[in-house]
Structure 1
Amino acid sequence: MITIENLNKYYGDVKVLNDISIDIKKGEMFAIVGHSGAGKSTLLRCINGLEDYSDGSLRVNNKEIKSLNKQQLREFRKNIGMIFQHFSLIQRKTVFENVALPMQLWGYSKEEISKKVKELLALVGLDQKLNAYPNQLSGGQKQRVAIARALTLNPDVLLSDEATSALDPNTTTSILNLLKEINEKLNITIVLVTHEMEVVKQIAQKALLLEHGNIIGFDDTEELFLKPDEKMKDFLGETEVVPNDGVNIKLYFPKDNAYQSFITKMARELDMDFNIVWGKLEEINSHIVGNMVINIKDEDRQVVTNYIKEHDIVWEVL
């Protein structure tokens, strides 16, 4: 669907994207994550052709973006929907007129426009707001209008540039649930740019972490959170405080495995006490994943690690 290989982008002498290679599959919910200045919005604009790239390859539906001429690029963007942080609605136009605008610009008939706009406003839960103006809507309602507008031309891809950053947590959740529904019902590939890790946990199937234009993480979302490397820990601001004495063993509990009673079972079967010194559970894509650090005596290290190995659990000694 979207294939990026060895992509580089410069602003003058400054390299803002460095050797980016990722693959986004059809129908995937994909997050591009990073702090301010990481290059995530620049990468998003490369995907829809609003930014050029210095070298490398970026293909959407097997079309190399940099090889498209002006007319081809216009046709290409018809298949790319875009939603923004600040909605970008036209204040003097009604909800209906805002959503209808792309279809009007492409010369659709009034009948086609009316049918499509009403369908989309029903999908986003605003069918009763056809004649309202943006200043009569809440922030969440404005974003729903923007989402409906982005879908009017039946795009293959929906790009979201910090679309929930201006919303409160409850409204953010409702918008993310709407995007999930759109993804499932319409099988649209959704690419989200965000600096909010909670957004990634709730919605993304796969995530790319950027720092100063470099990839510092790229994997299934659950794997990134389940077993973060040092760069990921630093990105998340996580610090594990563990004892200096004894042996600290970190156990990783992935989805679809019932390890809730593993520590109790191990303590009972080995006739041994453990200190649980650190732990975390995360809900990611409706699954509970997490990890836990136990502290044991030095002399118990071999028997405990042998037991863990026998039970197919991911672990490491800190």
Structure 2
Amino acid sequence: MINIKNLNKYYGDTKVLNNISIEIDSGEIFAIVGHSGAGKSTLLRCINGLEVYSEGSLKVHNKEIKNLSKEQLREFRKDIGMIFQHFSLIQRKTVYENIALPMELWGYEKKEINKKVKELVNLVGLEEKIDVYPSQLSGGQKQRVAIARALTLDPDILLSDEATSALDPNTTTSILNLLKEINKKLNITIVLVTHEMEVVKQIAQKALLLEHGNIIGLDVTEELFLKPDEKMKHFLGENEVVPNKGINIKLYFPKDNVYQAFITKMARELNMDFNIVWGKLEEINTHIVGNMVINIKEEEKQKVLEYIKEHDIVWEVL
């Protein structure tokens, strides 16, 4: 659906996106993650043609964005909804009027607009707020209006630029659950920009990590957290401190793994004591994944590794 290859973007002499190559599949929830200044919002704006990229290719539905005329770009954006951090609602318009606005601008009939707005208000759970003004809404309710407005033209792609950054944790979770529901019910591809790793864990199926315009990580979300490389560890602020003596073995527990109690089981069956010197378990998209580091004596290494291999556990000696 979205194919980006060797994409570069400059502001003057400053390169803000460096050789970006990714593919985003239809119906996927894809996260673009990075700290402030990483280039994530710039990349998002390239996808819907709000930014012009300097080199490389960016195709959506096999259309090269930089080759579209102004009229073609306007028609193209009809299929892409967008939500922002600060909602961008019109204060003098009601919830109904804010959601109806895109359809009015495209010349839809009132009957069709009314039907669509009521469907969307129901989808985002704001039936009782349809005639109120933004000033009477909470932050989470305002974002629900913004989401409904982004869906009025039946887009097949929804872009989210830090849409939960201004919300408290509970409200963030409710908005993310709404986006997951929309993704499932409407089969809409969602591309979200965020600097919050908790957002990625809750919703994203795949994630791209950007740092100063460079890709430092790209994988299925579970794999990024399960087996972080050194750049990912630095990004997450992780620091594995393990003993200098003995043998340190790292064990990986992927999603739906039945060996969450593996270490206890191994200790009992081998009649050994293990020191767990480092560990992390994360809930990623309702699955528990993680890894642990155990420290054993040198003379126990062969026996322990044979046992691990017999049970199909992914491991490495540090």
Alignment gaps of 5+ in structure 1: none
The 1-side partners of 2:261 and 2:73 are apart by: 56
The 1-side partners of 2:269 and 2:73 are apart by: 65
The 1-side partners of 2:137 and 2:265 are apart by: 55
**Structure 2 residue aligned with 1:233:** 233
The 1-side partners of 2:306 and 2:37 are apart by: 46
Q: For 1:229, give the aligned amino acid.
A: D
Alignment gaps of 5+ in structure 2: none
Deviations 1:28-79 (A, max 9, x none): 0000000000000000000000001111110001111001000000000000
Moved more, 269-278 or 211-220: 269-278
What is the Cα deviation at residue 243 of structure 1?
1.5
3-state SS in 2 of match to 1:5: strand
The 2-side partners of 1:81 and 1:183 are apart by: 13
Deviations 1:234-282 (A, max 9, x none): 0000111222211111101011211122112212222211111111111
2:104 counterpart of 1:104: yes
**Structure 2 residue aligned with 1:94:** 94
**Structure 2 residue aligned with 1:152:** 152
The 2-side partners of 1:92 and 1:272 are apart by: 70
Give the structure-2-normalised TM-score.
0.99
Deviations 1:105-131 (A, max 9, x none): 000000011100010000000011111
What is the Cα deviation at residue 140 of structure 1?
0.1
**Structure 1 residue aligned with 2:315:** 315
What is the Cα deviation at residue 305 of structure 1?
1.7
**Structure 2 residue aligned with 1:22:** 22
What is the Cα deviation at residue 303 of structure 1?
1.8
The 2-side partners of 1:253 and 1:95 are apart by: 46
Describe how 1:199-210 pairs up with structure 2 within 5 A.
Answer: 199-210=199-210
What is the Cα deviation at residue 18 of structure 1?
0.6
The 1-side partners of 2:35 and 2:317 are apart by: 30
Describe how 1:59-208 pairs up with structure 2 within 5 A.
Answer: 59-208=59-208
Deviations 1:165-224 (A, max 9, x none): 000000000000000000000000000000000000000000000000000000000000
The 2-side partners of 1:261 and 1:29 are apart by: 31
The 1-side partners of 2:54 and 2:280 are apart by: 42
2:245 counterpart of 1:245: yes
**Structure 1 residue aligned with 2:58:** 58
3-state SS in 1 of match to 2:128: coil
The count of aligned residue pairs is 318
Give the structure-1-normalised TM-score.
0.99
Q: For 1:306, give the aligned amino acid.
A: E
Deviating runs (4+, > 6 A) in structure 1?
none
**Structure 2 residue aligned with 1:218:** 218
The 2-side partners of 1:2 and 1:285 are apart by: 23
The 1-side partners of 2:285 and 2:261 are apart by: 23
The 2-side partners of 1:145 and 1:269 are apart by: 57
Moved more, 116-125 or 305-314: 305-314
